Amino acid sequence: MSSATTAEARVAIKPVEMVAPAGTPAALVAAIDAGADTVYCGFRDATNARNYPGLNFSPEDLKEGIAYARARGSNVNVAINTYASAGNTKLWHQAIDTAAALGANAVILADIGMLDYAARTHPKLRRHLSVQGGASEAAAIEFYYEFFGVSRVILPRMFTLAEIVDLKARVPVEIECFIFGSLSPMTEGRCSLSAYATGRSPNLCGVCSPAEFVRYETVNGQLVCRLGDFVTNSFGTHESAGYPTLCKGRYIAGDADPAYVFEEPECLNVAEYIGDLRRAGISAFKIEGRQRGRFYVAEVVSCFRKLLDADAAGQPLAMHADALERLRRLAEGGEETRGAYRKGWR
């Protein structure tokens, strides 16, 4: 084999970074022990789009988590991915400062003001554009790159595979895309349904369908789910249900029977596309699930570790049917989807 051919072969099998969720310090340890290259987490406050009781990190937790990750060759990225309100930026600035001081690998930001602050005050700290930024075309991505030095963009979950391939060829930054977890049909960074129903928004307060607003009751043999004053769904005895977000509710539209108007409670699972995405030059695969426990995180990460290593070694994924089946069993609502990768709901 010639040296040129050898170089091409090395490019062809370049591994992709696996980025795993860590909603708690225990989940961080579980993800790294299971083979994650990087974990992403957030502080226990409104700067983080998963600001739920019982989740997230104190500065001391983050310090210990970074030390644990580094000792094992892994990285920690910190999600500071909500939008600050007018005149109230101190908490967000403090979060960026703390992440930088503790040695985080990168901060994941959505707010333009926070991107500007991070670029000016911590120029050596990597800046990743959050999916909450909603950048969905080359010109927008180039803007974030040129003005704020963004080194990576996390893509919204509405792209087909062909669109991802085309976009990657036209932007000067790394691309990170979701491969597994809860699938929202909304354009990230623009969801207002939760704020309408509960007064609390994922983009401002870090909470989508807050648990304290969720109520279940049995009516005529049906399990009825309410969010605030709204009935979002009802389930028969043998039906599976996902987390009760408004966008995954079942509604009456016009004269039709109740149906999933936006999206069924399904789990995005695009394991079969990891080879195609790697060849397209995707830098990182992201697993959704900071609300999930450490056992779920460990199982998903271990499955994808096996699949990514097999793909990098040139092995067909079919050789690892056990990992593919384990992922199917973890799907939200017991159902999985390829989402927009197959342009199903677009």
**pLDDT at position 5:** 43
Q: Where are the domains of the chain?
A: 3-183+266-342, 203-260
**Token representation of residue 289:** 């699930």
Backbone angles phi, psi at 22, to 5 degrees: -140, 95
Structure confidence at residue 345 (pLDDT): 47
Phi, psi of 286 (to 5 degrees): -110, 135
Q: What is the pTM of this model?
A: 0.85
Cα(198)–Cα(339) distance, integer angstroms: 27
pLDDT in tens, 20-54: 999 999 999 999 999 999 999 999 999 999 998 89
Lowest model confidence (mean pLDDT) among 38-47, 98-107, 198-207: 198-207
Q: How confident is residue 9, by pLDDT bands cut at 50, 70 and 90? A: very low
Per-residue pLDDT of 130-158, as tens digits, reads: 998 989 899 999 999 999 999 999 998 87
pLDDT in tens, 246-288: 777 888 888 888 887 766 777 889 999 999 999 999 999 999 9
The whole-number pLDDT of residue 11 equals: 43
Note the pLDDT of residue 325.
94
pLDDT of residue 4: 45
The CA distances from residue 320 to 13, 35, 260, 316, in Å, are 18, 16, 33, 8
Question: For the domain bounded by 3-183+266-342, which CATH number is listed?
Answer: 3.20.20.110
Query: Would you say residue 2 has pLDDT above 70?
Result: no
Q: What pLDDT is attached to residue 14?
A: 66
Query: Which structure tokens are listed for 212?
Result: 């304290």
Give me the chain's average pLDDT, please: 88
pLDDT digits (tens, 9 = 90+) for 301-338: 999 999 999 999 999 998 999 999 999 999 876 778 77
Per-residue pLDDT, averaged over 69-97, amounts to 96
* pLDDT classification of 116: cutoffs 50, 70, 90: very high
pLDDT, residue 184, reads: 65
Which residues, other chains included, contact 176 with Cβ-Cβ below 8 Å and sequence gap of 6+? 17, 19, 128, 152, 153, 154, 155, 282, 283, 284, 285, 286
pLDDT at res. 248 = 78
Question: 65 with 56: CB under 8 angstroms?
Answer: no
Q: Which of 59-63, 179-183, 188-192, 222-226 has the lowest mean pLDDT?
A: 188-192
Share of the chain above pLDDT 90, in %: 60
pLDDT grade for 191, boundaries at 50, 70 and 90: low
Q: What pLDDT band is residue 200 in, cutting at 50, 70 and 90?
A: confident
